[in-house]
Structure 1
């Protein structure tokens, strides 16, 4: 498979003009061009290039730095008021000025529209925004030391009020932003990007080389495109079996491998009527049956790492709470848990999943969960990612498989969005203990002092089991030998730095 992967002719652009773009092939789905309508890694990878936020992250940095802002900071010791001063002379790609009013509009509309697939949960602590000239002031409901990191994400994308409605998503197939790139053309499965000549911000020299992003439905399609020589970069798309056989020393490619903090979970829907997993004993039984090592080996060929807690390895505060509570797959213990709760076996539930490798993962989980007749699992496949998101948000599955990419490099990004009030999973879970611990972590500016509370959260999650952590990714970026900068496409900060790609 590896030999097939490195074969193929040099990539050439489909269209002429402006030099050959660097072509990226990915199965990372783009769900919406409007920042108020998407909260997923595929969409945010584009947002960090075509939109601009007040703050951004440098590679590997734990704290954000100014981008559209000249400076930002809390104005009070209570961490309730955060103020930013915009850079002078910022313009959107249509030539209109980026103003404080535009920033206020961008945040207000996310909360007003409150799209079920949008980033509203990340901004749930925002009470109001004020704009006076180039000064923007955020008033928070409760203390939040992570607010600077939150507005450095795709949720902080600044849009032009004249073309982005205040109460509905923009439906035209265009982007009007102030980021380092502009979209020069697009089709259903392709987006062409060119450097934005109006850009001013944290990226030195503005945008980089012209970029073409090709979106594929399946990993096998990305692999076929690489073999055919029609892409220069394979990013988040190659099949696990292929990745496992790649040779880092091959002269025919450049391979960047890093320990990603993208985590994958089996989430439980507590809202669904008749779901046996609404009983905590049944959820604990699920946790006691999962064999992560076998899952990582048989389905993913060791290209992922077993995960035993809510917060993945590489993020400060990571623990092994699920290993401590459920040290090995134990069907007999799972049966005893159900018996003690008076739940007859097999307990029947549906498990939602996507197609491709996710279907293989679901099949393996089905096998594990049905050991000794503890459960009877009905698999429900939904290949389309946006539809899948909507289905689990509506509560159509008893349980479902989902992944989570960090919004910023802090454990907060795995707590409030996933197990806090109004979490993005829409699974009906709430816990006063966890909510209190989350608030305590948000009040601490010295993040090293939050570790005890994050461990409290992880132990509580392992006890109440609103989700079961399964594995975390390793980041693989494969480029042609003459393309550099692939290592910057995923560095744990949530920023996809297309401007770092270059011809060598």
Structure 2
């Protein structure tokens, strides 16, 4: 079969599925050999992070993709995106007009994978546990609007919120709100290693070598009850050291499908190939990349230095040289396809200008060139990251206002160092917890933000974020959201760079690949099957 490209277009800030070219979901089918999926995500247990897939700790797209297959949440994002729908719950909803009381009723006879009954007290235990532990990953902050969790009988759970939060149903669809068995998880301690137990669609068998998960085998959970409809009995998720090795395995037929992160070269080659037995699936993505600043560091504590970098960096040139059609320049933390987006950085700085940047520095009395090191992770966001930072280095140094060096480190080292404030400037990516503007702002700017940034703006935290969360109609929240983005563009605690598409490459005979990633880059392994595509 010829290669095909499937595109999911954007409609009113959400992604609605449409299969183009010769695509089709085919016949699906379960049974047979495991469907083997490749990824370059690395899963490592370290002294600093001994519990990488505990729901109370995990907070990156890779570990969440492990948990979403195994640990059930009350709500889930539906196929094709949209507002969350009940999953472990039979029904959920706000019971007051102020969006401060949220109640859920569990499905009848809900069970963990070992056969134990799931009760409302297990839900309360799981939520209270994440809030009590307050892991340094910062994931607990997603639940920060919860005041208390109440249970009524075995099936009723009531969340009393500190303040109105129209995004709360989305937060209950994230793995930090996953339901765990108190028999397997201590209430005030993380569960080290790679064991995970839940009531989700699959159970996990983890193959671990040298404290690294190299093979995750997901087997259909016979006790599962919920919204999802698994189209296979078993999926084998294999971790590869780099995109080239993963691509070679796909070409040889050792794996059936590969997902993040493919290299730009691989994507271009597959897109140009008109023959063969590998299909490329392209979807608009909500992933963003940005630079973050330790605003307490002497090198970048003066706002004018950060503003000058925002004035110099040419996003269009960066994207064209490194990513081509796989990304688009981004002028806000909020992607252009999300309701509430504003091009705040472009509105403030316009086209790149070394002259304007020099004026900013001179007016602030900054001695140039400013010496900086830009830090990046070598193994978490794809093989093109080094090239991206080489281009950033070139642009900043060409201005004559900066003397920039770059330094890479593996994620297992990079992430703890970033959280400890060891880096003045560093590159990060963000895959949204849920597709709402709040999730591109609060995790960076609110108290207990996941980057542990020292930057704090009282108007954002005490007025604008709460204002935006009171609005169930997210378009109505745009005024507050725009104000937040404008403040970020002026203060530059973070500097957005680009927004990327997402891709899957699958061998012929694998169905459901066009549904295997949602807009938040959630890997939906239950959608994959074997059959004949149309």
Short-chain TM bin: over 0.9
Residue in 2 aligned with 1:73?
Answer: 93
Residue in 2 aligned with 1:472?
Answer: 499
Alignment of 1:12-411 (within 5 A): 19-30=32-43, 32-132=52-152, 133-187=154-208, 188-204=213-229, 206=230, 208-247=232-271, 249-272=274-297, 274=298, 276-355=299-378, 356-383=383-410, 385-411=411-437
User: What SS does structure 1 have at the residue aligned with 2:271?
Assistant: coil
Normalised by the size of structure 2, how large is the TM-score?
0.87
* Counterpart contact for 1:62–1:410, Cα < 8 Å: no
Per-residue deviation at 1:370?
Answer: 1.5
Residue in 1 aligned with 2:445?
Answer: 419
**What is the rounded CA distance, in whole Å, between the counterparts of 2:194 and 2:315 in structure 1?**
41
**What is the rounded CA distance, in whole Å, between the counterparts of 1:493 and 1:378 in structure 2?**
32
User: What SS does structure 1 have at the residue aligned with 2:390?
Assistant: helix
Structure 2 unpaired stretches of 5+ = 4-30, 45-51
**What is the rounded CA distance, in whole Å, between the counterparts of 1:30 and 1:172 in structure 2?**
10
User: What SS does structure 2 have at the residue aligned with 1:145?
Assistant: coil
Distance 1:230 1:118, change over 3 A: farther
Does residue 514 of structure 2 align to residue 487 of structure 1?
Answer: yes
* Counterpart contact for 2:442–2:465, Cα < 8 Å: yes
More off after superposition, 439-448 vs 26-35:
26-35
**What is the rounded CA distance, in whole Å, between the counterparts of 2:385 and 2:135 in structure 1?**
26
**What is the rounded CA distance, in whole Å, between the counterparts of 2:333 and 2:307 in structure 1?**
15
* Counterpart contact for 2:75–2:89, Cα < 8 Å: yes
Per-residue deviation at 1:251?
Answer: 4.1
Equivalent pairs, count: 485
Distance 1:289 1:348, change over 3 A: same
* Counterpart contact for 2:243–2:261, Cα < 8 Å: yes
**What is the rounded CA distance, in whole Å, between the counterparts of 1:362 and 1:482 in structure 2?**
38
Per-residue deviation at 1:279?
Answer: 1.1
**What is the rounded CA distance, in whole Å, between the counterparts of 1:144 and 1:247 in structure 2?**
42
Deviation readout 1:424-464 (Å, 9 max, x if unpaired) = 11111111232221111100112221122211111111111
User: What SS does structure 2 have at the residue aligned with 1:245?
Assistant: helix
Normalised by the size of structure 1, how large is the TM-score?
0.92
Per-residue deviation at 1:185?
Answer: 4.6
Structure with the larger RCO, 1 or 2 (CA within 8 Å, 6+ apart): 2
Residue in 1 aligned with 2:478?
Answer: 451
Task: Point out 4+ residue stretches in structure 1 off by more than 4 angstroms.
Answer: none
* Counterpart contact for 2:81–2:518, Cα < 8 Å: no
Distance 1:335 1:419, change over 3 A: same
Per-residue deviation at 1:373?
Answer: 2.0
More off after superposition, 114-123 vs 303-312:
114-123
Per-residue deviation at 1:415?
Answer: 1.2
**What is the rounded CA distance, in whole Å, between the counterparts of 1:416 and 1:195 in structure 2?**
36
Distance 1:50 1:207, change over 3 A: farther
User: What SS does structure 1 have at the residue aligned with 2:475?
Assistant: helix
Residue in 2 aligned with 1:14?
Answer: none
**What is the rounded CA distance, in whole Å, between the counterparts of 1:315 and 1:28 in structure 2?**
26
What RMSD over aligned residues (CA atoms) do the two structures have, in Å?
Answer: 1.8
**What is the rounded CA distance, in whole Å, between the counterparts of 1:494 and 1:140 in structure 2?**
28
Distance 1:118 1:89, change over 3 A: farther
Deviation readout 1:45-87 (Å, 9 max, x if unpaired) = 1211111000111123321110101111112222222111111
User: What SS does structure 1 have at the residue aligned with 2:501?
Assistant: strand
**What is the rounded CA distance, in whole Å, between the counterparts of 2:123 and 2:360 in structure 1?**
52
Distance 1:279 1:185, change over 3 A: closer
**What is the rounded CA distance, in whole Å, between the counterparts of 2:314 and 2:519 in structure 1?**
26
